A and B are shown apart, each in its own frame.
Chain A
């Protein structure tokens, strides 16, 4: 069956460290993958998109990697800050008569000052 797996356990890190979140998928052939941030009581907000032919993408303190052989994406936040505390969702887009976006369950990140 198709699965998108993100670590259900919360990630706790110290301010200034790099946070690394993992997204693994099975039985998908995504054309691209996205990462979103969700704060409590709010809808998800887009962060980054990476295509299947791209290995890495960066935006300010964020870095995403995409390994289609391992079927895995890693999401890094460098020099983390307490304001980065949120839930981070991985999403896959696979062409099935149009690009349907399917989300993982998300990983909660806590950054301590």
Chain B
């Protein structure tokens, strides 16, 4: 596609349920990032995939969060047993790698009720 695509754009879920967020990066981009942004706040780094290397998971806030990237393309971010503090916009970005700009998707707004 022409840009980074995220789905769904909005997700309302009940506390305790699991959710999966999807990111389709730009074709050919080897680097993929997940960030979280709470209302009025900056971007919080969650996880980074680069090619076939092991992902950098240092930003995942708890073991309820996990992500995978299949075939070096599509990525899913899974949040298990959602809590109200997980409510935020989850942004995905991809890039060609070093010294390359990141292209962001429009984000998934997650609301845990």
Contacts and interface: CB of A to CB of B under 8 A. Distances in A.
A43 B33 CA distance: 13
A98 B106 contact: no
B91 interface: yes
Contacts of B93: 43-44, 101
A44 B89 CA distance: 12
Tier of interface size on chain B = 20 to 34
Main SS class of interface, A: strand
Interface of A: 6, 31-32, 34, 36, 42-46, 49, 51, 89, 91, 93, 95-106
A103 B93 CA distance: 12
Contacts of B106: 42-43
Interface of B: 4, 31, 33, 35, 41-43, 45, 48, 50-51, 53, 56, 91, 93, 95, 97-99, 101-107
Contacts of A91: 102
B109 to A, nearest CB: 9
A42 B6 CA distance: 12
Contact of B56 (A43, A44, A98, A104): A98
A93 B31 CA distance: 13
Contact of B50 (A6, A36, A46, A98): A98
A22 B33 CA distance: 25
A93 B98 contact: yes
Contacts of A100: 33, 45, 48, 56
25 contacts: A6-B42, A34-B102, A36-B102, A44-B91, A45-B104, A46-B101, A46-B102, A89-B42, A91-B102, A93-B99, A95-B98, A98-B31, A98-B48, A98-B51, A98-B56, A99-B99, A100-B33, A100-B48, A101-B48, A103-B35, A103-B42, A103-B43, A104-B42, A105-B42, A106-B42
